[in-house]
Structure 1
Amino acid sequence: MDMILFIVVAAIVALVIFLFSRQKKRPTAINKPLSFSHAPAPPAVSEAKSPAYGLAEKLKQSLPSQYAELVKKRVLSAHPGMTEREFEWRWLELQRFFILCAVLDRVPMFSKRIDDVWHEMLMFTREYQAFSEKYLGRMLHHAPNVSDDVPMPGERAWFDLVYIELFGRNPYSELLWGPFLRYPVPRQELELFQAPLLATSQDGRFNAWAYEHIPEAKYAIQVMKEKLQDRIERAKHKIHEKPANFSNTDLLMTSAIFFAWNEPEHFDEHMATLDEIKKDRSGSDCSGGFGCTSNYDDSRSSNNDSHHHCSSGSDGGSGSSCNSGSSCSGGSSCSSYEGGGCSS
């Protein structure tokens, strides 16, 4: 009798273990790639607490609503498969790009989809010139590429650093720009932004002309430099509080500077470890590039994307130099593409 009871109990235990193991092996649901099909409405160009808020307001005042509506109609007509919601996100990111052009000396445009909107905006030549001069006090040029494509991780590193500092991180923004924080800012460049140079505008990285002529840009640049200096000092003294996730911009930027300064060879590994956002959410690890620059010395490439830059010169081509560029996340296979540039 005891033997029969033992066998029955053993059989029940074995059955429970079997069923539990089958349940664990059931395939989990695959996360669908992020898309604009069900995207929320985009946020404001800049939050009020951001150092970019003044520039965002100046940009808004420089862009007549009638002009924005003409651009929207032209873009949707040229891209019949694009939804109004996707256009809204592309338009948001183009405006943020223009703000970056007022803050940085050179800004590659790392997104073909955003550059497509910029191209259509340029078709209204008089309106575009009026916008540029009211916003920056000079023409914001979009120049074609005239040189061969070469890697430019340093430019993408600065783009990511300043973009996230000013606007934070959003998965739909990253869907357009490509993965953020995959490259470290070179330590030799960070060393230039220590205390002695904070009060100057001639640092080679931030927009010296805008610093001298646009109060909103000067304020944003000063705040950026102060935060940069503080984070460099923390990195030098090995002071680092690891963020639990990437929702805290301050901790995220502190981490980016800390690893760029102390462990640049493992930067991508460290930042990917911290990143809680799934790599496959966008269905691609590559992004295109276009932008705003004065003296390009490197660039990056992307899958079948074009590449341009913007230039804020006082005349049709003064001060601009063009190079190709693109961005590509680590581990992906990317092809080179045509590009251009802008300078301040």
Structure 2
Amino acid sequence: MGVFLTIAAGAGILFAIVYFSGNGSKKKVLLKENIPDHLGLLDDVPASAILNKLEKSLSYEFINQVKLRFLSEHPEISDDEFEWRLFELKRYFFLNSFIKSTPMFSSKVDEIWHEMLMFTKQYEAFSEKYLGKMLHHTPNLEPEPAPQQRAFFDWVFAQLFEITEYTWQTWGDFFHYPLDQQLLQKIGSLSDDELKQQFFIVTDDNQELVNYLIKQLRSQLKKAQEMYNVDRKGSFERPGLFGDLSGLSLVMVFYSFYYFDEYWDYAQAYAYSHQVQGTSGCSAVFCGSGDINDSHNDGGGHSCSGSSCSSCGGGCSS
């Protein structure tokens, strides 16, 4: 078994350790050094107050207890993978601070949450300090009963966070379900306060962020309507590498609004794109899905080859 170290070009950071077995197959290895800073929040997202409150509410002692117990019960999970799962759980907690309904869509992330709940007093103290109330466990590992909830989760997630390879692998396929068509049709007649009342929990800490999201939604809907007047089938650039995939949000809004019943027939051309022509990296989606069995995939998916996926960012390497 040979061991190879890959150094990210020009950045000087350790990207991955790749193990080759006797038959030449590769195994992906996670490195916690690749976890983005500040929860991977995109530029211009006004969320520093919420982020600071979250970090201050999760004490080192609490997280370390959870980590030690989890790793002792799951010896197959590496220290690095625990840190990546915790990173995505923090993002989930972040969303819970301002979205009224946020089901849990990842079994991997949910396992860390379950472990936290075992430390009852510490978890209650975290919830109270962060949200001022108990953050109850709300699992929903299959999105089929509420696909529009998953769609809204995906849309908000894409406005806020860098989406890494491990993000796709952990949460399953993004942009697979259409947004609520009736909501999109009513947005023009709904005030900001009415939208807030329907979807968000508004506090002094998150008011600027909620306003930002409402502005994004209105802007994307307006762009979709303008595009429809020019091209009724829509015309979008396919996403390139990992990172800011908020551009796929416009794809979601356009086909949800105009082709709700045929949403996936159209959206999959962009969400499930092959390797981008003329780039050395992978398509935004299926390099990131990792193991197809980990995602909520129900057809049409493609994965990158190991050679092309090695250049994709964010957590995994092959």
Q: Check if 1:330 corresponds to 2:298.
A: yes
Distance in 2 of aligned mates of 1:117 and 1:132: 15
Q: Match for residue 268 of structure 2?
A: 272
- Give the AA of the match of 2:206: A
Q: Check if 1:69 corresponds to 2:64.
A: yes
Query: How big is the shift at 1:238?
Result: 2.4
Give runs of aligned pairs for residues 115-194 of structure 1, distance below 5 A. 115-142=110-137, 151-194=145-188
Superposed CA deviations along residues 269-292 of structure 1, whole A, max 9, x for unmatched, are: 4333223246475222554xxxxx
Q: Check if 1:86 corresponds to 2:81.
A: yes
* SS at 2:34 equivalent: coil
- Structure possessing the higher relative contact order (Cα contacts under 8 Å, 6 or more residues apart): 1
Distance in 1 of aligned mates of 2:29 and 2:205: 32
Q: Match for residue 55 of structure 1?
A: 50
* SS at 1:103 equivalent: coil
* SS at 2:137 equivalent: strand
Q: Match for residue 206 of structure 2?
A: 217
Query: How big is the shift at 1:143?
Result: 5.3
CA contact (8 A) 2:100 2:199 kept: yes
Q: Match for residue 106 of structure 2?
A: 111
* SS at 2:136 equivalent: strand
- Give the AA of the match of 1:261: F
Distance in 2 of aligned mates of 1:124 and 1:232: 44
CA contact (8 A) 1:161 1:253 kept: yes
Q: Percent identity?
A: 30
| Closer, same or farther: CA 79–194 of 1 in aligned 2, 3 Å | farther
| Closer, same or farther: CA 196–64 of 1 in aligned 2, 3 Å | same
- Give the AA of the match of 2:67: K
Q: Match for residue 282 of structure 1?
A: 290
Distance in 2 of aligned mates of 1:229 and 1:33: 45
Distance in 1 of aligned mates of 2:60 and 2:74: 21
Distance in 2 of aligned mates of 1:144 and 1:199: 29
Q: CA RMSD in A?
A: 2.9
Q: Match for residue 36 of structure 2?
A: 43
| Closer, same or farther: CA 238–100 of 1 in aligned 2, 3 Å | same
User: Scaled by the length of structure 1, what TM-score is found?
Assistant: 0.66
| Closer, same or farther: CA 252–103 of 1 in aligned 2, 3 Å | same
Q: Match for residue 249 of structure 2?
A: 253
| Closer, same or farther: CA 103–169 of 1 in aligned 2, 3 Å | same
Superposed CA deviations along residues 138-167 of structure 1, whole A, max 9, x for unmatched, are: 11111578xx99622111111111111111
- Give the AA of the match of 2:181: R
Runs of 5+ consecutive residues of structure 2 not aligned to the other structure: 1-24, 229-233, 274-282, 301-318
Q: How many residues align?
A: 255
Distance in 1 of aligned mates of 2:227 and 2:293: 31
| Closer, same or farther: CA 331–232 of 1 in aligned 2, 3 Å | same
- Give the AA of the match of 2:255: F
Runs of 5+ consecutive residues of structure 1 not aligned to the other structure: 1-31, 288-327, 333-344
Query: How big is the shift at 1:119?
Result: 0.7
* SS at 1:231 equivalent: helix
Distance in 2 of aligned mates of 1:175 and 1:34: 14
Stretch deviating more after TM superposition (249-258 or 104-113)? 249-258
- Give the AA of the match of 2:134: M
Structure of larger gyration radius: 1
Distance in 2 of aligned mates of 1:194 and 1:35: 46
Superposed CA deviations along residues 62-117 of structure 1, whole A, max 9, x for unmatched, are: 11111111111111111111001111110001000011111211111011111110
* SS at 1:216 equivalent: coil
Q: Check if 1:263 corresponds to 2:259.
A: yes
Q: Match for residue 205 of structure 1?
A: 199
